[in-house]
Amino acid sequence: MVCVGTSPLGGLPTIYGYDVEAGQAVATIRRVLESPIDFIDTSNEYANGESERRIGEALRSAAGGPGNVVLATKADPALWATEFPGSRVRESFRESTERLGVDRFEVFYLHDPERFDFGHMTAPGGAVEAMVQLRTDGLATAIGVAGGDISEMRRYVDLGVFDVILNHNQYTLLDRSADALIDHAVNAGLSFINAAPYASGMLAKQVSARPRYQYRAPSPEIVRTTAWLHQECARFHVPLAALALQFSTRDPRISSTVVGVSAPERVDELVENEQREIPSELWDSVRERLVLPPTVT
């Protein structure tokens, strides 16, 4: 199952190297509503709330209404804040409901908690306690933790209060650092959401297209391996994006894979790439060169 990631949609030129204007963002979300994809991921702070505002506009103006789409958003600290208390989680929740035009969320994450001390986040009156209260009050069906730092994410799993965990950029064709975290989270009963299967673009775009790897310029080794992957995929007439996507979607431990989109045609490509047949010879070749785990079949 795929989920549409919307961090590019607010317009984040410093991260993605291009801007997305509001009309294109709204058209992209409308295309999602017409597609088989029914899961959208955003956050309070993507482009200072602009991602949520644009999604909200698309949901309100959609001809057929929002349908059964599941919205996941994230609680963020106030801009430049040095603390993230429970009161800010509730305020962030309220801001997100207003922008998106809903009164509750199916999935509500605590966003990048590694920005703050674990003791601060888990103290009485703190952010974690407020997350649990939102679920108790029926304002979130599932509460999650979304972040990048693997050892810190493991500590949040071990609290035993979260239903979902999202980690990004670290379970891809090029980086499997999150493998043990996935096992740990699933064994603890959480759903694992894998975000950024293209490592922020590198595993979908040609090397010549000024792609990014984990939001930075790629190392020469990553450029070489990605060039080989493109070549090998071309031999089998498969886009690298399809291989990179299915590396994640075929893993039975992963409940959903979040892919960033910037335009309506990206939504169509995502649907196609999820369904595309990939010859077993291509998997065999890639498995041998990249030493892929046995979960990839």
Ligand X SMILES: NC(=O)c1ccc[n+]([C@@H]2O[C@H](COP(=O)([O-])OP(=O)(O)OC[C@H]3O[C@@H](n4cnc5c(N)ncnc54)[C@H](OP(=O)(O)O)[C@@H]3O)[C@@H](O)[C@H]2O)c1
Closest CA to 260 of 206, 209, 208, 212: 212
Figure out which of the listed residues 55, 112, 113, 121 binds ligand X, where binding follows CB under 6 A: 112
Number of Cβ within a 10 Å radius of residue 242: 22
Residue 64 or residue 193: which is nearer to ligand X going by CB? 193
Cβ nearer to ligand X, comparing 231 with 294: 231
Q: Does 113 interact with ligand X (rule: CB under 6 A)? A: no
C-beta of 124 vs 197, nearer to ligand X: 197
If one asks whether residue 266 binds ligand X (CB under 6 A), the answer comes out as yes
Decide: is 196 part of the binding site for ligand X (CB under 6 A): yes
- 181 lies in the binding site for ligand X (CB under 6 A): no
- Sign of the CA dihedral with 91 first, then 93, 99, and 101 last: negative
The interface region with ligand X, picked from 78-86, 130-138, 144-152, 247-255 by CB under 6 A, is 144-152
218 lines the binding site for ligand X (CB under 6 A): no
Which of 111, 116, 181, 233 binds ligand X (CB under 6 A)? It is 111
- For position 260 contacting ligand X by CB under 6 A, the verdict is yes
Q: Does 58 bind ligand X (CB under 6 A)?
A: no
Angle at alpha carbon of residue 70, lines to 241 and 75, rounded to 5°: 90
Among 26, 174, 195, 278, binds ligand X (CB under 6 A): 195
Q: Which residues bind ligand X (CB under 6 A)?
A: 5-8, 16, 18, 41, 74, 111-112, 146-148, 166, 168, 195-201, 204-205, 241, 258-260, 262-263, 266, 269
